[in-house]
Amino acid sequence: MPRISLVILVVALSLVAAPGMAQPRPPARGQQQAPAATPDDAAEDEVEGEDEEEDDDTAGGLRAPTMEPPQLGELPPVEEEEGTEGDEPAEADPTEGEGDEALISPEDANSRLESEAPSSDPTDSSHWTAPQSVLTLHGYFRARGELQDTFYLGRAFQQGTSTPDLPFDMYHPAETRPGTTIDGGCGSTPGGGGCDTTSLQYATMRMRLQPQLNLSDDVRVHLWLDVFDNMVMGSTPDGSLVGGRSAFAPLQAFSGTALPPTYGLNSLGNSIIARRAWAEVRNRSLGELRFGRMGFHWGLGMLANAGDTFDSDYSTDVDRVLLITKLAGFYLMAAYDFASQGYGQHYTATDASGRTITDGSASYDPAQRDNVQQFFFAVARRSTPEDQATALSRGELVLNGGAFFVYRRQLLSSEYTGPTDGAPSTFVRRGFETFTPDLWGQLLWGSLRLEAEAALVLGSIENHQSTYAPTNQAVRQFGFSFEGEYRLFDDKFGLHLAAGFASGDSDAEGLGAFADTTSHQVGSSSSSSLSTFRFHPNYRVDLILWRSIMRQITGAYYFRPGVSYDFVRSPFGQLLGARADVVYSRASSPVQTWGNSVDLGVELDGSLYYRSEDGPEMIDGFYAMLQYGLLFPMQGLGYLEGQTVPGSDGKLKNAQTFRLILGVMF
């Protein structure tokens, strides 16, 4: 009897201790890596060695418990029961201990941990007893209302002619464009004339989900999903489908429900977009390995921008294998990027009878020399948020910064030819090679922040045409951005100054994302260079000119002074304030502008913003922002002196915008 009682006691203690092995605690959100997975933020995510291990239980530095079994100590010897001489020991019942609560052997536990997914066999109960990982979820939901008035700046509509006027043609309301037929008229009465609207009004929405699967302290998997990614609200009614309508809506005006966006049916995109998926594996002695499609952010985001802020639209996403380690206080990074593989195909071929055979479940790269290869190297020093806050509270100077270098090359190009029988039919020799160094530095002292980033793109391109017509042009581009901020009165009042420069090109015409600055149009020669630098489209400095009309800063420089005041600034995250900025923009090369003048415009921007203090983190809660912008265009955005354009009097008109942003971050 004593032996039976002791065995029961040991089994009970084991069952009580087992749940501590099965459910690792998720790391504190404040210590998780930013979803953008940026190399310059690696300092916040790397392990600091023995010092950090000693502080694992402090606030803000919690880590999940290890998966080691509990140490119960050495059990006392068990006395055998007296039995009849010659009795054989009882054989163990092979069914004893089966069920959900049965103890499993170490070999069985390892086998279950190594399984990639739960069994599809409903009678297999192994996935009920295996230790479970921890899933956390962050993201945001937002809705934005936009009013864009006279973004075409009074320029005449030229789309469909030999010289379309991009990007201004895009902002003419479709019902006012020349050649548009309005059967019955657009006035208050039938036949009452054409439409006279000058503005575009619409609203968009996005739900961003950022799940993170924590298998342990050192192994994590990330995923980014966008639901209704910048979908125009009201754009998918059941009464308006490609090639038809719903049976329940005889006319578009009778639409009764909104359908999910489906490519080819009622939208150019689908309801859910998988934007990123990557894994992180850490060795505390060596460093960290990241692989998959991940975000990339560096410095101010002038060249590489993760686009993970609440009002972002664009992002730098890379297919990358990245190694990060720390040496003498500096983070060293090296990566290989799959920048472009050309045409990726399914296994497709033609058999002897002329039939197409394919394997739709697997893809491969049929061509090798058309790949764009990219190699990335970086070194950075960046204080952790805790160390930074401590140093600033002591009145000390904090310096962060780093440098990265990217080498990119491509021999052949298949971008102008379609695939035939599983592979491109024609290749064009490109002969492309670039070297891109980028320097970033940040100075923090009290309430002062000074931050700058500079980048060069140097290299050559043998041929940029769709056929081989070598021009052997050099690539010489330079970009620079600066941001300064000083806060007063308990950080409520802010003084801001920003400036930037992007090199221009005297052999190209047009600015912005829609301009063709590769195929030279003016004074083209074999000795000319490609010198128009492009900021990342998510690097925003205004509301109208660069953000909306041009879509990105190219071939220009700007100055942006501003002031802000927070009426409410709670240490728990609540925020209510206002900000005003003036943005003056000029072209780096006047020949590149429409009016051959360096002056592009002056823009006045104002915003009123609010954030609640809901949620476990300071940035969580309800967001609201109301913005207004007014652009005064100047000669660089106008017509050439003496130029006559049908449908225009040659005078520019001011543009203005209203924006309302509502959302929740979690």
> How many Å apart are CA 564 and CA 574, to the nearest integer?
16
Question: Token digits for 275?
Answer: 């934007």
| pLDDT value at residue 171 | 95
Percent share of the chain, pLDDT over 70: 76
Residues 6+ apart with CB under 8 A from 73: none
Identify the weakest region by mean pLDDT among 164-173, 199-208, 252-261, 433-442.
252-261
| pLDDT value at residue 102 | 52
Instruction: Tell whether the model's pLDDT for residue 648 goes beyond 70.
Output: yes
Question: Token digits for 283?
Answer: 């060795």
pLDDT digit string, tens, across residues 50-89 = 444 444 343 333 333 333 333 333 434 444 444 444 444 4
Peptide bond just before 167 cis, omega within 30 deg? yes
Average pLDDT over every residue of 233-260: 84
The rounded mean pLDDT for the chain is 81
> How many Å apart are CA 139 and CA 275, to the nearest integer?
13
| pLDDT value at residue 163 | 82
Q: Pairing mode, if any, of strands 529-530 and 473-488? A: parallel
| pLDDT value at residue 23 | 38
Please write down the long-range contacts of 460-465, taking CB distance under 8 Å and 24 or more positions apart: 460/431, 460/432, 460/433, 461/430, 461/431, 461/432, 461/433, 461/530, 462/429, 462/430, 462/431, 462/432, 463/428, 463/429, 463/430, 463/431, 464/430, 464/518, 464/519, 465/428, 465/519
| pLDDT value at residue 419 | 52
Average pLDDT over every residue of 413-427: 64
Average pLDDT over every residue of 200-215: 95
Read off the pLDDT band of 331 (50, 70, 90).
very high
| pLDDT value at residue 625 | 97
582 CB-side CA count, 13 A? 4
**Neighbouring-strand partners of residue 485:** 449, 496
Percent share of the chain, pLDDT over 90: 52
**Neighbouring-strand partners of residue 307:** none
> How many Å apart are CA 59 and CA 619, to the nearest integer?
18
Coil, strand or helix: which one is 526? coil
User: Phi/psi at 110 (nearest 5 deg)?
Assistant: -65, -40
Coil, strand or helix: which one is 127? helix
Residue 307 Rama label (left phi>0; alpha psi -120 to 50; beta): left
Q: Tokens 């003056």 belong to which residue? A: 584
CA dihedral over 292, 295, 299, 305, signed as positive or negative: positive
| pLDDT value at residue 333 | 96
Question: Token digits for 127?
Answer: 């996935």
Instruction: Tell whether the model's pLDDT for residue 20 goes beyond 70.
Output: no
| pLDDT value at residue 240 | 79
Read off the pLDDT band of 265 (50, 70, 90).
confident
Q: Which of 534, 532, 509, 531 has its CA nearest to residue 520?
A: 509
Question: Token digits for 27?
Answer: 């790391």
> How many Å apart are CA 269 and CA 226, to the nearest integer?
11
Identify the weakest region by mean pLDDT among 242-251, 437-446, 511-520.
242-251
Identify the weakest region by mean pLDDT among 55-69, 92-106, 546-560.
55-69
Q: How far is CA 316 from CA 395, 610, 638, in A?
A: 36, 28, 33
| pLDDT value at residue 184 | 84
| pLDDT value at residue 565 | 97
Neighbour tally for 394: CB within 10 Å: 7
| pLDDT value at residue 223 | 96
Residues 6+ apart with CB under 8 A from 167: 512, 513, 514, 549, 550, 551
Read off the pLDDT band of 344 (50, 70, 90).
low
Q: Is the pLDDT higher at 139 or at 30?
A: 139
Q: How far is CA 637 from CA 155, 510, 601, 655, in A?
A: 9, 10, 8, 12
Q: Is the pLDDT higher at 381 or at 8?
A: 381
pLDDT digit string, tens, across residues 113-159 = 455 555 566 655 554 555 567 999 999 999 999 999 999 999 999 88
- pTM listed for this prediction: 0.79
Q: Is the pLDDT higher at 102 or at 480?
A: 480
Q: Are 316 and 295 in contact (CB under 8 A)?
A: yes
pLDDT digit string, tens, across residues 267-325 = 888 899 999 999 999 998 899 999 999 999 999 999 999 998 999 999 999 999 999 99
Q: Is the pLDDT higher at 15 or at 106?
A: 106
Instruction: Tell whether the model's pLDDT for residue 94 goes beyond 80.
Output: no
Identify the weakest region by mean pLDDT among 316-330, 382-396, 413-427, 586-600.
413-427
Read off the pLDDT band of 160 (50, 70, 90).
confident
| pLDDT value at residue 417 | 58
User: Phi/psi at 16 (nearest 5 deg)?
Assistant: -70, -35
| pLDDT value at residue 242 | 74
Q: Is the pLDDT higher at 496 or at 120?
A: 496
Average pLDDT over every residue of 411-421: 69
Q: For every residue of 45-113, which 3-state class applies, written as one string?
A: CCCCCHHHHHCCCCCCCCCCCCCCCCCCCCCCCCCCCCCCCCCCCCCCCCCCCCCCCCCCCHHHHHHHH
Instruction: Tell whether the model's pLDDT for residue 257 goes beyond 90.
Output: no
| pLDDT value at residue 79 | 45
Instruction: Tell whether the model's pLDDT for residue 219 goes beyond 80.
Output: yes
Question: Token digits for 660?
Answer: 């309302």
Q: Which of 30, 27, 28 has its CA nearest to residue 573?
A: 30
Average pLDDT over every residue of 360-369: 77
Q: Which of 422, 452, 454, 416 has its CA nearest to residue 437?
A: 454
494 CB-side CA count, 13 A? 23
Q: Which helix (H) or strand (E) holds 441?
A: strand 428-445
Neighbour tally for 541: CB within 10 Å: 22
| pLDDT value at residue 391 | 93
> How many Å apart are CA 204 and CA 246, to the nearest integer?
23
Read off the pLDDT band of 11 (50, 70, 90).
very low
Q: What residue type is assigned to position 283 of the chain?
A: N
Q: Tokens 């279950």 belong to which residue? A: 112
| pLDDT value at residue 484 | 98
Question: Token digits for 82?
Answer: 């007296």
- Distance from the first to the final alpha carbon of the chain: 57
530 CB-side CA count, 13 A? 22
Average pLDDT over every residue of 488-505: 96
